[in-house]
Amino acid sequence: MQTKLKSRAAEHVNGDRLLDLFLELAKLNAPSTKEQQVADYLIKALPELGFTLEFDEAHKNFNGEVGNLFAWHEGSDPTIPPLFFSTHMDTVLPTEGLNPVIKDGVIHSDGTTILGADDRAALAAYLEAVRAIIEGGIPHGPIEFILTVNEQPGLVGATYMDYSKAKSKTGYIFDSSGDVGQIILKGPYSSRIWIEVQGNSSHIALNSEEGNSAILIAAEGLSNMKLGEIEEGTLANIGIINGGELTSIIPGSVTLAGEVRSFSEEKLNAQLKHMEEVMHQAALKKGAKVNVRTEKKYLGFEIPKDDILVKTVWRAAENIVVKPYLTETLGGADTNVLNENGLTCLTLGLGFQNIHSFRECISIENLHNTGRLTAALIEQWYINHRE
């Protein structure tokens, strides 16, 4: 027997309809930069719910099919500050022939593709929540959907977004593996680093004495480089190594690529400097050279516990009889980039698991609770601003 919900809006969320909608959206073959199928679906579905639509041209920066989507609903009371919900329209690959399977209350793919719960589950929940609000006659302020493209390769759509098109300044992004009730207050700073080691190439039989192996130099540098968990809240990784020509040629150059994440910008920069210095030291011993390039991925964010966004989602979670809890993550999301560009928002959990793999899944309970919490948030946001 289902526990009685304290949210009138959440009571109008139709779980069967939400499940059917998610299964329909999951089957849309729209990986990163190829989101036109999802956009076409929304071009039809959102106006039926009373939304007006506008796309930006972010996709022209990366040869995508379509830009970020801004969908606006006036609400029943336009005096209430608008509230946005954001998610991304793309998924990772493979998606061709995606076939969802339900077993023991959990939605999986059939094992030949990803499922796409990251993040079609959030999109389905948003649509159902607004439908429930409308059908239930629940008073509400303006609602905006900010739906990005090309998120999976590194928050690219959000990076190139035309932020002048956003009408709201505060909102939520359901995009985390924590069960519904998870509230992420803090996200990391992140930067990439490329290290090119330049030695001398030579043939191992003909002129090996002229060789200076860039791979061996890089190996010595790596042996002295702090990687993994540097300390609590700071991570570093070398994920790519490219170099060499032939098995008979001593390699004259090698390139390493990695990433650093930290809740502290100061500690992030210190780790990047350390990685550069140890490689320079290894090269100096062998008379080699090193070129280093770094690139910011995104900035960190931290939302205070007493912010109205936190208070609203805490009460809304309690109103759907879900236990809220506060946390932080070193994972990146569009939340980082939106906050960096003046849109204050939180990441919320919706409970998908094993994302970016054939084992990806989401429980029907978490899917339903995402829809209920979205509806309860819209309702509670209105109540908070009418009190």
Query: pLDDT tens-digit profile of 291-347?
Result: 999 999 999 999 999 999 999 999 999 999 999 999 999 999 999 999 999 999 999
Q: Where are the domains of the chain?
A: 8-187+301-386, 189-298
383 pLDDT exceeds 70? Answer: yes
Residue 298: closest CA among 159, 118, 148? 159
Report residue 360: phi and psi, to 5°.
-60, 140
Residue 4 has what pLDDT? 75
Across 103-124, average pLDDT = 97
Percentage, residues of the chain above pLDDT 70: 99
CATH architecture of the domain covering 189-298: 2-Layer Sandwich (3.30)
pLDDT: which is higher, 199 or 4: 199
The pLDDT tens digits of the residues spanning 41-53 come to 999 999 999 999 9
| pLDDT band, very low/low/confident/very high, at 269 (cuts 50, 70, 90) | very high
* Sign of the torsion angle spanned by Cα atoms 158, 164, 168, 170: positive
Residue 31 is classified by DSSP as B
387 pLDDT exceeds 90? Answer: no
Q: Where are the beta strands (DSSP E) in 74-200?
A: 83-88, 101-103, 106-108, 143-148, 170-174, 182-187, 189-198
Residue 144 has what pLDDT? 98
The model's pTM: 0.93
Residue 222 is encoded by which pair of tokens?
Answer: 């790596």
The pLDDT tens digits of the residues spanning 166-183 come to 999 999 999 999 999 999
Q: Which residue has the tokens 């006659």?
A: 137
C-alpha 238/C-alpha 54 separation (Å) is: 40
3 pLDDT exceeds 70? Answer: no
CATH architecture of the domain covering 8-187+301-386: 3-Layer(aba) Sandwich (3.40)
Residue 1 has what pLDDT? 38
* Residue 90 appears among annotated catalytic residues: yes
Question: Strands 289-298 and 325-328, how do they pair?
Answer: unpaired
Count of beta carbons in the 10 Å neighbourhood of residue 328: 16
The catalytic residue among 35, 56, 118, 151 is 151
Q: Which residue has the tokens 């300044």?
A: 169
The catalytic residue among 35, 56, 90, 334 is 90
* Residue 151 appears among annotated catalytic residues: yes
| pLDDT band, very low/low/confident/very high, at 2 (cuts 50, 70, 90) | low
DSSP-derived 3-state class of residue 362 = strand
C-alpha 269/C-alpha 252 separation (Å) is: 29
DSSP-derived 3-state class of residue 295 = strand
Residue 5 has what pLDDT? 86
DSSP-derived 3-state class of residue 127 = helix
Across 268-286, average pLDDT = 97
pLDDT: which is higher, 5 or 347: 347
Q: Is it true that 8-187+301-386 and 189-298 share their CATH fold?
A: no
C-alpha 241/C-alpha 257 separation (Å) is: 7
Q: Dihedral (C-alpha) 211, 213, 217, 220: value to the nearest 10 degrees?
A: -120
